[in-house]
Structure 1
């Protein structure tokens, strides 16, 4: 009985507060606005008939709306959504992190009404940006669409349709809003000390109160209200959202925005309502007609989306294997360019250590370019491995190509690391100090190196393989390959058992960096645009993806996120616990920005043919990229050896150091990396004897 009373009180608070569109205040405002529209249009029928037509409010679809409304309220009553929606808490974490970075009192401007209003607007804009992308993802990602289809299955629209939602959808949206809005609000609080809340009315953000009062409930209604061509570039009108629910082909994937239309305008999904349109609602069959109602009962609306999402995932896997997409030459070349640049950036970043170049280039260490470049490698790897998986088609071919690529380089790299370290220590032991050099028994060194478990922390401790610290990322990548291969190629219980075992073996630090790698997978599996489609959006993604990364780096965001991580792990040392994943928050942002950049570039390159625009530069790019693996695995042992060999008084010491390091790396590539095709041809008969068949590779791409 007490539980029932609590639920009744919760519902009363829900209906009388200012946070919900269905609050009594907003319903009354909607009725007044509807009356004004009825009067302006000539009031040819009674107002009650205009406001509450029987064919809409007594429709079977509206009855399901009511059932889902109460189901949604019950779930929310028990606090499930609140557990993943805590932007204020996230904002306080950011605020404390920023304060810790400053370390001392600073002179801050006084809080004024204008600053508070600005904070209110910025928080709303950040939340609306999140809602746009969460909404768009639910339309464009096939696995998420079934959960959003529950909302779109409404055959008629009434204000209560806003609550016609599967519980999975708000969970995803709230998580996204929590992260981004929490970050933005935390920065604002730091800059405007003394003001901890935006402008509110009745406890709700003032902008949302105005938005809800001025007709938000007409979005899900039979009443057409357009704001006109100019205003509909700025704000989403009720008519625009009704168009979003239309099954007509011209309306597909339009008007994702919640409050602002600027996101649709910016990203090419805006539809302007120049005149009244007679709309049909529901889930489209793909030809502009509605499907039969897919969710006739509450049980179907809650359970069926899980089955449909599972089928969508299986269909996507089957389609990827059956019809592997080709990689355009231009996109392949761009990946090679980034791969070569990332490898050289890692080399320059490590060469900037004081022990190698006296600190003359230490700004590269302060900028942490080497670590950031490794994350770029991860995203590139995700793209290429996703492409390779669709090309290979089977687990056996996938495993053969991964193993030959890895072992053809890692085995000689480990041997040369042992030789270089022993040689260098015999010449100058002072060049091999801890933690940059860790001596291991040869058996342990080779075992952990050749099994790529040097950073796997599920069952083992982390180890450094002599001076070859950069091999940490290879340990991560092999874990990603294994998890991806098992998830894509295996089925049933065996897949879940092996995934669980791998998760236990690799440990948390590797897993929390995997999202950056998976963003590369997303780039490849995202359907490329047709020739001529949305070039402005593609160029925007290609340019803004990298520009945003540079701006956030210059603004000191990595340090802010590191402080947040430190506080979350306090009193433990998060760097000791996470190892090379200590910047996983910043690394995730790098992954997102690079993935957006690559998604834009991929579509741009669809419209370009071959390498002709690059001229001779294309050959140089591919030649350097063809040695990127060798540069990465050999540069650090080589730098240590040269540090022990070269006299510090040598003229042009830095150029000698760089030139000889590159010569060794390119020589290594000549011997071990570039002959990969010959290695695979030699080993292929033995692999085929195990029953593995190979098909010719038709498209050129970076070697996976």
Structure 2
């Protein structure tokens, strides 16, 4: 991966993280009402960016780094749990204090009385399997990890195992995951395809830059027009399995549209020769970390 594109992915990662936080603040009224800041509500789109990025980075690091299965598991586990363990512990602790001392109305407060069930559930990322829809108190965005970690598992099975073992364990993983995770799996796999396919349509620097800017403009126009809301309603109406709750996957049609735009955006950025970013390499790496 060339340095300008690597730096650009770091810029996108930081920007997506900021958008998730801003969206969270708006939804909770900390930056005014939803109607006051409609263009700040890019949290879902930012999550889709993370999914595509995740698929790309996992495929790249596994192939280029020539990791063994054991190294892959250790690397993923260390990266995930170094953040998740203190984060989940802090959420449960602060929620307990808020409820016990201040009588605060905390979402999912019922989990505090059954920590022996919900703590393992969240630490094993099982909150989005099938009809489950559980996130830790005050940590609504945790739902995305309930998808992403299982995609890591499925990738490891497909990448490292062979023959009947791959088929059997892949089938078991898919069966455990359930329909919600199946619906957004193509989004994550788009990132894998971005790495595997390279640049299928070679472009010059300036055509690539035009495409890069055009995909940003299309995403802004798509959001401004409220197309995501229409697609959310359409996806719900088309869902033919009422006994299976869509939950956090209810925007699957909108997610596919955003995924296509993100895929094209990265494909253009890869060929746009964004060399100016190299002068800002140190602060970019620091922010992305």
- C-alpha deviations, 1:339-370, integer Å up to 9, x for none? 1111111111111135545x346544686421
1:496 aligns with 2:167: yes
CA distance in 1, matches of 2:27, 2:100: 22
Map of 1:56-135 to 2, 5 A cutoff? none
1:549·1:590 contact (CA, 8 Å) conserved in 2? yes
Q: Does 1:338 align with 2:9?
A: no
Cα distance between partner residues in 1 of 2:192 and 2:225: 29
Secondary structure of 2:286's aligned partner:
helix
Provide TM-score, normalisation by structure 2: 0.89
Higher helix proportion, which one?
2
List alignment gaps of at least 5 residues for structure 1.
Answer: 1-326, 627-704
1:485 deviates by 1.4
Q: Contact 2:231/2:251 (CA < 8 Å) preserved in 1?
A: yes
Distance 1:438 1:545, change over 3 A: farther
Structure 1 residues 623 and 379: CA distance shift in structure 2, 3 A? same
Question: Secondary structure of 1:465's partner?
Answer: coil
What are the within-5 Å matches in structure 2 for residues 611-650 of structure 1? 611-612=278-279, 614=280, 618-626=281-289
1:411–1:553 distance in 2 versus 1, CA, 3 Å: same
Task: Give a deviation string over 1:415-439, Cα, whole Å, max 9, x none.
Answer: 111211112223432341x46x552
SS in 2 for 1:505: helix
Q: Deviations over 1:301-325 (max 9, x none)?
A: xxxxxxxxxxxxxxxxxxxxxxxxx
- Maintained 8 Å contact 2:23/2:41: yes
**3-state DSSP of counterpart to 1:577:** coil
Cα offset, 1:567, TM superposition: 2.2
8 Å contact kept, 1:388–1:398: no
- Whole-angstrom CA distance in 1 between matches of 2:132 and 2:28: 28
RMSD: 2.6
Report the counterpart of residue 99 of structure 2 in structure 1: 425
C-alpha deviation, 1:611, in angstroms: 1.3
Q: 1:360 to 1:564 in 2, by over 3 A?
A: closer
1:519 aligns with 2:190: yes
Is contact 1:411–1:450 with CA below 8 Å preserved after alignment?
A: yes
Paired positions, count: 287
Secondary structure at 1:513's aligned position in 2?
helix
Q: Which residue of 2 aligns with 1:555?
A: 225
The answer to whether the 8 Å contact 2:52/2:189 transfers is yes
Residue ranges of structure 2 left out of the alignment (5+ in a row): none
Aligned to 2:261: 593
Residue-by-residue CA offset, 1:168-208 (whole Å, 9 max, x unaligned): xxxxxxxxxxxxxxxxxxxxxxxxxxxxxxxxxxxxxxxxx
Matching residue of 1:456: 129
Give the TM-score normalised by structure 1. Answer: 0.38
Do the aligned residues in 1 keep the contact of 2:26 with 2:41 (CA within 8 Å)? no
| Superposed CA offset, 1:49-104 (max 9, x none) | xxxxxxxxxxxxxxxxxxxxxxxxxxxxxxxxxxxxxxxxxxxxxxxxxxxxxxxx
Any conservation in 1 of the 2:95–2:138 contact (CA below 8 Å)? yes
Bigger-Rg structure (1/2) = 1
Structure with larger RCO (C-alpha < 8 A, sep 6+): 2
Give the conservation status (yes or no) of the 8 Å contact 1:455–1:462: yes
Shift of 1:396: 2.0
